[in-house]
Amino acid sequence: MPVPLPTSISESGNMVKYLVSTCERWSCKRCGASVINVDKASDPQEWEVATGALNFDDAKGLEGKLDRVQLWVADVKGDGGAVGWINKGRLKGMDRRWQSRGSDVVSDETVKELMTPQARVAGDDDERLPVQCRCQSVQLEIKRPDKNYNGGTGKFAACLDTCHSCRTVTGFEITCWTVVPKDCIIIAPNLDAFLEDRSKLGHYQSSSNTSRYFCVKCGAAVFYHRHGAQTLGVGTGLLESKIEGAVRVEAWLDWQKVSKELWGDESSWSPHLVWFQEDAVDAHFVSEVAEGMRLWEKERGG
């Protein structure tokens, strides 16, 4: 929006500001949800609202109301990230740019090249994977599971989630989680102590048996935990791949339908590649992502 951010928002005391280059990122102090970005370099000054934080009386409130565009594809040049899933990997119907809105268009052919598996195996032999948020207040490591883990893949299961709870507690319509056993998470002095460290991790209980953890400084979504489960959902955006821009981190993650056994809680489990599509506030957008992911999996022989 090409108007100054209202002071009633910036001075409310309910949000935390984190500066990245010329962009102010504002998140909810209580639950960590990303809410607003303010571009200080634009003239006139612009601010953006996170679409996952929008609230509607109509459950499908975003359906057909947004002129969506994919920006900064250059940041996922290592493996294409989810670019080949969004809008089923097509340029038609959704603009797509290498960087900002004024940069070059990314063609469908280029997206196919980015998404095609190549010799991206750096990190396959590593025993530990760094995990950190933008401000690095949250830093830990994940150790590799047994080779027979997860159906013999030896990798952690990863999925996309569009449930109402994840959307409103992160500010994003689609969130990405990988399911990691607690005993594979390495941090000093120990995981339990880290989960209680409010100088680094904010805590929000989104339901009677679900806890969320986020960085209190930059707002990054760190953990999702179903009480009693021996696994944690870890935000995949925090995983540090050895390959620049390889954000799917396929040396460690298997993007798949997560089994009930791995998830550890049948009540919140979904059999689909994209979880809880029925909760989406833009069903068409989410269904196109799900179909793009299905086609990608099929092309890979999944």
State whether residue 279 is helix, strand or coil: helix
pLDDT tops 80 at residue 51:
yes
DSSP assignment, residue 97? B
Question: What confidence tens digit (pLDDT) does each residue in 150-200 have?
Answer: 989 999 999 999 999 999 999 999 999 999 999 999 999 999 999 999 999
Residue 101: both structure tokens together: 């809105």
> Closest Cα partner for 96 from 115, 68, 124?
68
Question: What confidence tens digit (pLDDT) does each residue in 218-237 have?
Answer: 999 999 999 999 999 999 99
Strands (E), the chain: 15-20, 23-28, 34-39, 46-49, 69-70, 95-96, 128-132, 139-143, 156-161, 175-181, 185-186, 201-207, 210-215, 221-226, 231-235, 253-255, 274-275
Class of the domain covering 128-299: mainly beta
pTM: 0.91
Sign of CA dihedral 163, 169, 171, 172: negative
pLDDT tops 90 at residue 7:
no
Q: How far apart are CA 179 and CA 287, in angstroms?
A: 23
CA 207 → CA 166, 192, 291, distances in Å?
A: 11, 20, 30
Residues of the chain with CATH 2.170.150.70: 128-299
pLDDT tops 60 at residue 122:
no
> Closest Cα partner for 115 from 258, 300, 301, 241?
300
DSSP assignment, residue 282? S
- Please state the rounded mean pLDDT for residues 44-72: 87
pLDDT tops 80 at residue 215:
yes
pLDDT tops 90 at residue 107:
yes
- pLDDT tier, 74 (very low <50, low <70, confident <90, very high otherwise): very high
- Please state the rounded mean pLDDT for residues 73-100: 96
CA 277 → CA 32, 153, 163, 270, 286, distances in Å?
A: 23, 26, 7, 10, 7
User: What is the pLDDT, as a whole number, of residue 119?
Assistant: 47
pLDDT tops 90 at residue 40:
no
pLDDT tops 90 at residue 297:
no
Average pLDDT, the chain: 90
Between 50 and 57, the higher pLDDT residue: 50
Sequence-ordered list of residues with C-beta below 8 angstroms from that of 249, at least 6 positions apart, any chain: 123, 129, 236, 239, 241
User: What is the pLDDT, as a whole number, of residue 180?
Assistant: 97
Question: What confidence tens digit (pLDDT) does each residue in 250-259 have?
Answer: 999 999 767 7
State whether residue 46 is helix, strand or coil: strand
